[in-house]
Amino acid sequence: MNKIIICLIIPALLFGLSSCVKERDCNAGPNISDLDQEQLREDIEGIEKYLEENNIPYETDASGIRFSIIERGTGVPPNYCSSVIVDYEGRVLGETEIFDANNPNAARPFQVEVNGNIILGWKFALVRMNRNADYRVFIPSQLAYGEEGRLASDSTYIIPPNANLEFRIRLNNY
């Protein structure tokens, strides 16, 4: 009798637990409707002005990022559930100092989950790129660190509040 009960209860529990797990939509991007839309518009205007003043050809994404394609790459782009290997460097828009970069000569490549703990602008950029693509990505502050900016351990700003960013991203593999 106990075996019959166990055979009935365990499948019911497993079915019940699996119905509680929300299935991820690997093609649905992050929701940005709760961002400060006025600041996002100002960010985009500032980025486009910079790109035009510097004669940088660019394409647009509905999210607000702008990007300049250095190399298109090949194959199908990753989706929001993908894990990707990239080389990158980032700077505040219009500045020459790099605030962050991976070490392409490191023993382990830099790998990130597209839907992981990365800024929104990266998420939108990575799903547009193909394997071996090389982009300059221009990210509005609202899709990066916003009004908080990013502080160093000594409480100085690495990235000031409402700073638009530029990243050079090469998608190596996924």
Question: Tens digits of per-residue pLDDT, 76-114?
Answer: 999 999 999 999 999 999 999 999 999 878 888 899 999
Q: How confident is the model at residue 74 (pLDDT cuts 50, 70, 90)?
A: very high
pLDDT-above-90 percentage for the chain: 74
For residue 165, tell me if it sits in a domain: yes
Contact 91, 102 (CB under 8 A): no
CATH number at residue 131: 3.10.50.40
For residue 7, tell me if it sits in a domain: no
Containing structural domain, residue 74: 29-173
pTM of the model: 0.84
Contact 104, 169 (CB under 8 A): no
Q: How many CA atoms lie within 13 A of 2 on its CB side?
A: 0
Integer Cα distance of 82 and 56 in angstroms: 30
pLDDT value at 22 more than 80: no
For residue 24, tell me if it sits in a domain: no
For residue 9, tell me if it sits in a domain: no
| Distances in whole angstroms, Cα of residue 111 to Cα of each of 24, 36, 41, 86, 136 | 20, 30, 31, 6, 19
Give me the number of domains the chain comprises: 1
